[in-house]
Amino acid sequence: MSTLPQHALSTQDPDVYAAIQNEVDRQNDGLEMIASENFVSRAVLEAMGTPLTNKYAEGLPGKRYYGGCEHVDVVEDLARDRAKKLFGADWVNVQPHSGAQANAALYLKALEPGDKLLGLDLAHGGHLTHGSPVNFSGILYEAAFYGVEKDTGRIDMNKVRDKAHEVQPKMISIGASAYPRDFDYEAFRDIADEVDALLWMDMAHTAGLIAAEVMNDPMPYAHVVTTTTHKTLRGPRGGMMLVGNDIENPFGITARKSGRTKMLGEVLDSGVFPGTQGGPLMHVIAAKAVAFGEALQDDFTTYAQQIVDNAQALAEALIERDYNLVSGGTDNHLVLVDLRNKDLTGKQAEQALEAAGITTNKNMVPYDDKSPFVTSGIRLGTPALTTRGFGPDELRRVAALIDRVLADPSNEDVQQAVRSEVQALCDTFPLYDFATV
């Protein structure tokens, strides 16, 4: 068993220390296949655990409301400059604490309560913050949705166009949490222009794949892009906002000040602070800077392509075993499995696989007939396993292990046998060994 460094935590608070150690062991000894999770580098971990957490730095570099910010200014500028280079952006704000916070800042500045929003239905793979009735985005704004076709599992852009002309939204959102295909950003922009709507892309799941140019680039088409900084980007948990072409007064969402019209980025800055947040988390921003620096290296492109190659190998191996995949495969990092032909619920599959050392999440599938607490599917992702060094051969082996468990989901002997094989795979591709710190 690996051990954390014997620093103050182990003696001052052994209960917290033990919980952290148990989580380290869980990550080391299991197959992490939740599509929204990944493993950060040691450098990112180290940046997060620094005394930068002590510093209040409300405002922006060079324009702070507190003294003593000269060093954190350097850190935030590094993060902003690296993100601009990584995504080809004119403007970036790296302060959002999460993707949801970045989205909230955009809503605050782009819409008035009651304005109309058009986004991908959560039940068809969309995201909670894109208008779900249980989220602020669906409570404060009038949300309408487009979905995927029942026979193809893909978005029909003609139907999106029809829906946009019917709804006349002020903002159209793109992006998903469980859509295994790429997006046609040019077509979305054409539709947004036709109805005079702001076009927003939430690339939280695919940011790393977009940065590495293995998926389509939204920056030339979307007016605003938001993202998380973990998932495929492999940074710390946090958010970010970007503008590809920082223009004046788009769609009236900017405000006049001192006789001039603000640029879009300047207005969005105020949506983050003071609009929706107070002081930024400077230790997390330092970790973002480190992660963005890693993503600018050539080996990150290789890594991102491997994520997609692994997901496609996993998809092919599951199809060979008679699993129904939403849309018939994947263009990105995730596979969405409809288990109804296996007479299983997502809840049953998640629990059986976890007992075998394979961590997944139950997930709604399009046109699901079960509740979100049960679901008819599971979502599988490859970013974390790819970080460990898994390739297509290993993902095909993982597919076989998944099938062994789900073929007899209540068989504890099978679960234990698979867990032993999972442990052998994990030992071959080690993750964190804190004993060497």
| Residue range 103-151, pLDDT digits in tens | 999 999 999 999 999 999 999 999 999 999 999 999 999 999 999 999 9
The single-letter DSSP state of residue 7 is S
Do both 208 and 356 map to the same domain? no
Split at pLDDT 50, 70, 90, the class of 344 is very high
Residue type present at position 420: S
The answer to whether the annotation marks 140 as part of a ligand binding site is: no
Contact yes or no for 272/93 (Cβ under 8 A):
yes
Q: At what angle do helices 346-355 and 412-428 cross, to 10 degrees?
A: 60
Domain boundary residue, one of 236, 264, 296: 296
pLDDT of residue 263: 86
Structural domain tally of the chain?
2
Q: Residue 415 above 70 pLDDT?
A: yes
Q: Residue 203 above 60 pLDDT?
A: yes
The answer to whether the annotation marks 258 as part of a ligand binding site is: no
pLDDT of residue 10: 87
pLDDT of residue 436: 37
Q: Residue 1 above 60 pLDDT?
A: no
**Has residue 135 been placed in a domain?**
yes
Q: Are strands 198-202 and 377-381 parallel, antiparallel or unpaired?
A: unpaired
CA angle 246, 251, 256 (to 5 degrees): 75
pLDDT of residue 435: 44
The answer to whether the annotation marks 373 as part of a ligand binding site is: yes
The single-letter DSSP state of residue 180 is -
- Which residue range forms the structural domain that includes residue 331? 25-35+300-428
Do both 66 and 190 map to the same domain? yes
Q: Residue 437 above 50 pLDDT?
A: no
The answer to whether the annotation marks 127 as part of a ligand binding site is: yes
Q: Residue 301 above 90 pLDDT?
A: yes
Do both 251 and 371 map to the same domain? no
What CATH number corresponds to the domain at position 121? Answer: 3.40.640.10
Q: Residue 155 above 70 pLDDT?
A: yes
pLDDT of residue 434: 53
Exposure class string for 65-78: b at 16+ Cβ within 10 A, else e: eeeebeebbebbeb
pLDDT of residue 142: 98
Integer Cα distance of 279 and 65 in angstroms: 10
Catalytically active residues, by annotation = 56, 58, 202, 228, 231, 237
The single-letter DSSP state of residue 323 is P
Q: Residue 7 above 80 pLDDT?
A: no
Do both 189 and 278 map to the same domain? yes
**Taking the CB of residue 274, how many other CB atoms lie within 10 A of it?**
11
**Has residue 6 been placed in a domain?**
no
pLDDT, average across residues 30-35 = 98
For 356-400, the pLDDT digits (tens) are: 999 999 999 999 999 999 999 999 999 999 999 999 999 999 999
Q: Are strands 171-174 and 116-120 parallel, antiparallel or unpaired?
A: parallel
**Has residue 5 been placed in a domain?**
no
The answer to whether the annotation marks 122 as part of a ligand binding site is: yes
pLDDT of residue 354: 98
Tokens of 290: 């480190």
Integer Cα distance of 102 and 264 in angstroms: 15
pLDDT, average across residues 209-234 = 97
pLDDT of residue 6: 56
Residue type present at position 328: G
Backbone angles phi, psi at 338, to 5 degrees: -90, 115
Q: At what angle do helices 412-428 and 392-407 cross, to 10 degrees?
A: 170
